[in-house]
Amino acid sequence: MLDQLVYQAIPIFEILHPGCIGIFCFNQSTNHNAMAGDALVATKMNLSPRGKQPKMRDGWYINENSEKRVQSMTFPNNHQLKGQPKGIKQVLKERNLWPMKEICLTYEQCSGKCDDIDLERIDYCARKIMLLQPDFYEQQSMLEETIIKAGHIFERYPKFHCNYNFADLMKQVSKVLVSVPVTTIRKFARKSWRYMDAYDKELEGKTAEWAVSKYKSHRRIPENIEKLME
C-alpha cells in the first residue's frame, strides 16, 4: 500500500494536476493505521529499559517554563545502556511526570479508550500517561506521514460509515437522482443559490429567509435589497 502510494498514486496525481494539492481518503482499515517502525507508540514500550521494545524516534514535551524540549527515546552514548530504549518510566521521569507513588505499566480500569487527559488522575497507568502525551497522542500513521510530507492532505472516512467512499457514493447518487424529479432538484438548486446570494448581500437569519421567499420567482435577490426593506 505504501509503495503504491509513493511510487504510483502521488506521482500520477502530480503529473495530472501539477501545482495542485490532493486529498487522499482512506477507510478505517487497520492496514491504513499502521505506524512506522520508529513511531511513538506507547503500547510497544516496556516500563523499564529491559526486554524487547523498539527504538523510537525522538519525542518532545513542554517543560515547566513552557519551552518545547526534544527528548531522545534511547540512552546517550555516555550511559551504560547507550543506544538502548529508555522505557516509559525513565521517559516520564525526564519529563517530571512520574508520580511519587509507584505505578504499574497497565491498570485494568484504564485499559479502555479514554478522552480524559487529566494527568493528575491517580488511576492512570504508566502506559496511559505516556499515550496521552502530545507527541505520542498526535503520532500519525505511515500513510498520513507520507502524504503530508508530499504536501498533500490525508483524510479518513467516518469510522461508523464505512460505505461513505467514492465508489459507493457513485452508486447511491445515481439511485437517488433517479428517485427525485428533475423539477425538484432544480427548485432546490435555485433556492440554495438565492440563500447564497442573500448571505453575500450580508442578510442573516429571518431577513435572509424572507428575501429568499419573497424573490423566489427571480433569478437573484435585488442589489438594493437593504433599501427595499427599510
Reading the chain (230 residues) residue by residue, the pLDDT tens digits are: 888 888 899 999 999 999 999 999 888 778 888 899 999 999 999 999 978 999 999 999 998 888 899 999 999 999 999 899 999 999 999 999 888 888 888 876 665 555 555 555 545 788 988 998 999 999 999 999 999 999 999 998 877 665 666 777 777 888 888 898 989 988 888 888 888 888 887 777 777 787 777 766 655 566 656 555 55
pLDDT confidence of residue 165? 67
Does pTM top 0.85 for this prediction? no
Please report where in the chains the cell 484504564 appears, as a residue. 110
Per DSSP, the residues of 142-158 read HHHHHHHHTT-EEEE--
* The three grid cell numbers given for residue 76, joined into one nine-digit string: 546517550
Look at residue 217 in the predicted model and tell me its pLDDT: 62
CB 211 within 8 A of CB 196: no
Q: Which residue has the cell 507527541?
A: 135
User: CA 35, CA 40: separation in Å to the nearest integer?
Assistant: 9
Q: For the packed helices 205-214 and 182-200, what is the interaxial angle rounded to 10 degrees?
A: 130
137 Cβ neighbours under 8 A, 6+ residues apart: 117, 131
